[in-house]
Chains A and B, each alone.
Chain A
Amino acid sequence: MDAAPPIAKRRPQRWRLMPERGTLSLFELALLAICVALVVARPPQYLQDVVIQTFLWAGLALAWNIAGGFAGLISFGHAAFFGLGAYTSTILTVNHGVTPWIGLWIGGALAAVFATLLTLVCARLRGPFFILSTLAAAEVVRIAALNWEKLTGGAEGLAILPTASVANMVFDSKTTYAALMLGYLVIVYAVTKAVEGSRYGYYLFAARDDEDAASAAGVNPLLARTGAMGLSAFLTGIGGSLFAQYFLFLDPTHVLSPELSFQFALLPALGGLGTAIGPVLGSFAITPLSEMLRAYFGGKAAGLHLAIYGGVLVIVMLYFPSGIAGALQRLSKRWRSSNR
């Protein structure tokens, strides 16, 4: 019997149903079709707002996942990259008239540089030591931004003028924003899938799962990790710029906060860490849920909607520890094995 060829090189004989490493599945195509439909169908404005936020958060969750899920670099400081991207493009737009279409690349690049330095500095740290270092670094950035008033506007925040134009990346129509965010999501997803199925991806998984063995096999864990974090930060920074262009208001307390950092990690964790589809599912489940909880319960009793959210979080984490993607995989295996 010949040894089975490496998975990455095997041509799919038929379309896979569920997401797998290295190939596109029917599930993903179906999800893409639904997303496009949501954009094109022009739902009521309020729902469009939820759709836009869902797409944006899915992209951000995917970006985090490259570092957290693929490389094993759990970071609770991604708000720093998000904020760097958002503030860079906004400051360039507001103070220097640079179009956000250029500004967002600069913001992403700045975030990537910061992330690379941070990872190199924290290279020896693992587990909670690493996690808290990222949190500390993000807090340093937040407090610096809060006090560097001349640059960032300080506590009162920075606002972008809502004059709509393509050059300004400000649109009157929510459909255009939805398309923009979907574009972001698709690009980040494509990058994620490419990394997942590539040799570089294998280096990352190897370094994540067993660093010593990976080193012995010729992988350079430090380079692999740094690259992952840099890529993750770059994509997160771009997401930050898009956020700024939609909400048109930034302030350090909310754009660089630990709560935001937790959210970037929470969505992939709920959706399924280390898979490509996981973060997307996480955002698709949680973002509409939290928006709707606040919309329906926010006016009823102060705190009720968040209490429900917290309770749901506890239950979901305990009963679906490998996330939604993990649960779906178990379901599909069961379905497949019962059909044999």
Chain B
Amino acid sequence: MTTVGQLVFSGLLIGGIYALMSIGLTLIFGVLRVVNFAHGEFLMLAMYGAWAVTKYLGLNPYYSVVAIVPAMFLFGVLVHRMIVAPALDKPHLVVVFATMGLSILMQNVALMAMSADLLDVPPMLGGRSFSFGPFYAKPELLIGFAVAVACTLALRFMLQATYLGKAIRATVQDGEAAQLMGVPVPRIFLITFAAGSALVGLSACVMMPLFSVFPTVGLNFVLIAFVIVVLGGMGSIEGALLGGICIGIVQSLSSYYIAPAFGQMFFFMLFLLVMIFRPAGLLGRKGEASIGIND
């Protein structure tokens, strides 16, 4: 019993962190209907930033949030202006491949600038972990999970209660009607994309104490993020959290009871099953999968 409990517990925590990493992506997809193929590289960039702030300014990686989140927001503005916005009125594949090109570019600029070394930040609390009865968890995991949940709640609140949130929801429902009602849709797109980028920055600060950074680190996470976004229902923030937790737990249990050699196979199979039986994702709107994207 202890074993299953530990597996589920750890899977839950890491799943929350996967979800945090994917929330930015799902927000961008929900509003702009574009898939940012450079998502993994945004994460890589933010992680390098968090590492640099920790190393050169001596700050705790969690405090580097103060610097990294705004920086990633600005980066998102830049990428949106230069790459995403010009591609929005063109066929969907254009933005896919333009962001793919961006991802290759970023990976290799990072390689040229930082070399292939794995970089880490020193562990908190000397690397010890907390125990809850027979179960263990590192503080970094607990913090990460807490941030993921808090983020989900904060975003939900923002979307329901603030004007910006209403504007975003209106844009998602019907962009033209929203524009007619005075919502500045292009600016909403910009803000959403930049916010998605900022959220990646937040998740990077939380992930830096747990993972090493190197130029191709994005590749380890980007497929997970895509699966979580579609699994949870595109555009659904709670769906992303739920999807992430599912993935974390499935991976944990399948790697233990079947074999770790299969790596990500089981959650891909889970994903396919969900696509067959609930095509819109766990919390997506019914019929969404049949409409796909508006173009």
* A residues neighboring B (CB under 8 Å): 74, 121-122, 124-130, 132-133, 135-137, 139-140, 143-144, 146-147, 258, 262, 265-266, 269-270, 273, 301-304, 306-307, 309-314, 317-318, 321-322
Chain B 169-180: CB-based contact to A (< 8 A → 1; otherwise 0): 000000000000
In the bound complex, how far is the Cα of B97 from the Cα of A270, in angstroms? 9
In the bound complex, how far is the Cα of B115 from the Cα of A146, in angstroms? 29
In the bound complex, how far is the Cα of B103 from the Cα of A162, in angstroms? 37
A337: shortest Cβ distance to chain B, in Å?
A: 23
B145 within 8 Å of A (CB atoms): no
| Contact assessment for A265 and B112 in the assembled complex, using a CB-CB cutoff below 8 Å | no
| Contact assessment for B275 and A318 in the assembled complex, using a CB-CB cutoff below 8 Å | no
* B residues neighboring A (CB under 8 Å): 29, 35, 83, 86-87, 90-94, 96-98, 100-109, 111-112, 115-116, 215, 223, 226-227, 230, 234, 259, 261-265, 268-269, 271-272, 275-276, 279-281, 289-293
| Contact assessment for B289 and A317 in the assembled complex, using a CB-CB cutoff below 8 Å | no
Q: Contact partner of B112 among A126, A135, A139, A302, CB < 8 A?
A: A302
Given A125-B289, A306-B107, A306-B108, the answer on whether A314 and B272 have CB atoms closer than 8 Å is no
In the bound complex, how far is the Cα of B102 from the Cα of A306, in angstroms? 11
| Contact assessment for A313 and B93 in the assembled complex, using a CB-CB cutoff below 8 Å | no
In the bound complex, how far is the Cα of B265 from the Cα of A129, in angstroms? 18
Closest 3 CB pairs of A and B: A127-B292, A313-B101, A126-B292
Q: Contact partner of A139 among B106, B115, B215, B264, CB < 8 A?
A: B264
Given A124-B290, A303-B111, the answer on whether A136 and B272 have CB atoms closer than 8 Å is yes
| Contact assessment for A309 and B104 in the assembled complex, using a CB-CB cutoff below 8 Å | yes
| Contact assessment for A313 and B100 in the assembled complex, using a CB-CB cutoff below 8 Å | yes
Between-chain CB contacts (< 8 Å), 27 pairs: A121-B272, A124-B289, A126-B289, A126-B291, A127-B292, A128-B292, A128-B293, A133-B271, A133-B275, A135-B223, A136-B269, A136-B271, A139-B223, A265-B97, A269-B96, A273-B93, A302-B111, A303-B107, A303-B215, A304-B108, A307-B105, A310-B104, A313-B98, A313-B104, A314-B102, A318-B83, A318-B94
| Contact assessment for B97 and A143 in the assembled complex, using a CB-CB cutoff below 8 Å | no
| Contact assessment for B293 and A140 in the assembled complex, using a CB-CB cutoff below 8 Å | no
B108: shortest Cβ distance to chain A, in Å?
A: 4
* Minimal Cβ-Cβ distance residue in B for A121: B276
Q: Contact partner of B97 among A304, A317, A322, CB < 8 A?
A: A317
In the bound complex, how far is the Cα of B160 from the Cα of A60, in angstroms? 48
In the bound complex, how far is the Cα of B111 from the Cα of A121, in angstroms? 41
Residues of B within 8 A of A124 (CB): 279, 289-290
Given A302-B112, A303-B109, the answer on whether A321 and B271 have CB atoms closer than 8 Å is no
In the bound complex, how far is the Cα of B94 from the Cα of A306, in angstroms? 19
| Contact assessment for A265 and B275 in the assembled complex, using a CB-CB cutoff below 8 Å | no
Q: Contact partner of A147 among B86, B91, B262, CB < 8 A?
A: B262
* Minimal Cβ-Cβ distance residue in A for B100: A262
Q: Contact partner of A318 among B92, B98, B259, B264, CB < 8 A?
A: B98
| Contact assessment for A321 and B104 in the assembled complex, using a CB-CB cutoff below 8 Å | no
In the bound complex, how far is the Cα of B276 from the Cα of A310, in angstroms? 35
In the bound complex, how far is the Cα of B290 from the Cα of A122, in angstroms? 11
| Contact assessment for B35 and A128 in the assembled complex, using a CB-CB cutoff below 8 Å | yes
Given A121-B276, A124-B289, A303-B108, the answer on whether A317 and B29 have CB atoms closer than 8 Å is no
* Minimal Cβ-Cβ distance residue in B for A137: B272
In the bound complex, how far is the Cα of B272 from the Cα of A121, in angstroms? 9
| Contact assessment for B101 and A312 in the assembled complex, using a CB-CB cutoff below 8 Å | yes
